[in-house]
Structure 1
Amino acid sequence: MAVLAAFTAGCQSTGNVRHLNSSETVPAENALALPPPGGPSIVSVVEHKRGNGTEQIISLYTSSSVPGQNFLKVQFFGASGANPGTGNASYQMISESGIIREAFAAVPGVQMTRSTTYLQNSYGPFAYASGESGLGDTCIYGWQQIRSSRSAHTQARNFGMIQVRLRLCDRRATERQLLGIMYGYTITGTLDGEIWNPFGDPPRVDTTLGRPGNPIYPDQGGYRNMPLAFGYEPIRPEIQSRVVRVRGVQPKAEEVPTQLPPPTGPRVPLPDATSGLPVQGISVLPATDQAQPRTTTATIPTVPSPDCIGDSAMTAACQR
Structure 2
Amino acid sequence: MMPRLMAMMALVASVSGCATGDDPDLFTSSIKPQAPTLSADVSPEFAVAYLPQVAGRVEAVRQTSQTDQIFQTILYPNPGYGPGENRLTVSVAPPGTNRSYLQAPTQRQIINEMRAALPDAKMQFTSAAGQNLQGPFGYAIGKAADGANCIFAWQTVREISRTPGTGLGLLGRKSYAAKIRLRYCHPTMGEASLSSLMAGLRVREVTPTTIEMLRFAEGTGVATRPSYAVQEPSVVQARPVSLKPASVATKSAKSSQSVTAAFAAPVRNAPRIVKPRELAGYASAQKGGAPAVKPLVLATAEPAPPAKAISPGKAAAVPLPSDLVR
Structure having the larger proportion of residues in helix: 2
Give the TM-score of the pair, scaled to structure 2.
Answer: 0.45
Larger Rg: 2
Give the TM-score of the pair, scaled to structure 1.
Answer: 0.46
